[in-house]
Amino acid sequence: MKFKFNLRLQELVDLYTFNTWEAPWRKKSRQRLQFFLPLAFILFAVSLMIQEQYVAGGILIVFAVIWFFIYDTVYKKRVQTFAKSYYNQEANRIFFTSYEYEFKDNLIKIKTDYSKVEMQYQALIDIAEREDVFWLFQSMGSAHIIPKRVMQPEQINTFRNFIIQRINP
């Protein structure tokens, strides 16, 4: 199977957002910020209320509840905004080069305007499939993006099965 494409900004932003925030290996970071920080605010608010500072305590409790419910969405949006500005910088335009992936039985050939690489399937640790892309992870922070838009509908299942067999023999 051979695919040639240029990456789109949204494909890069989605992968960056996943790696930075949504990925399972980021769970502890998310929990610390989403659960433990509001808990600390609530405990501080209770101590203020014990000292009869009801307005300050009430404001902190409201802030903690709001934080608990919207922090994930706000932070994810912040990460996406950062990623967009990062990839739009001239120095990072290299990500939008032409990519050519050729998946052979025993290796993957990757060709860009700047490099040619042959990679063994053992270099891949996992695959993630999203609505519009496949991510082939080499590490928890690095993945190859294979957009489904470059595949025929019948190729998607074939590719999925092919790559799963190679990554998990």
Q: How many CA atoms lie within 13 A of 42 on its CB side?
A: 11
Q: Please tell me the distance from the alpha carbon of residue 32 to that of residue 39, in angstroms, as a whole number.
A: 10
**Domain edges within the chain:** 14-90, 99-167
Q: What is the pTM of this model?
A: 0.76
Q: Tens of pLDDT along 40-55? A: 888 888 888 888 888 8
What topology is assigned to 99-167 in CATH? PH-domain like (2.30.29)
Q: Tens of pLDDT along 96-120? A: 999 999 999 999 999 999 899 999 9
Distant-in-sequence, close-in-space partners of 47: CB < 8 Å, separation ≥ 6: 57
Sheet holding 107-111, edge to edge: 2-6, 98-103, 107-111, 116-120
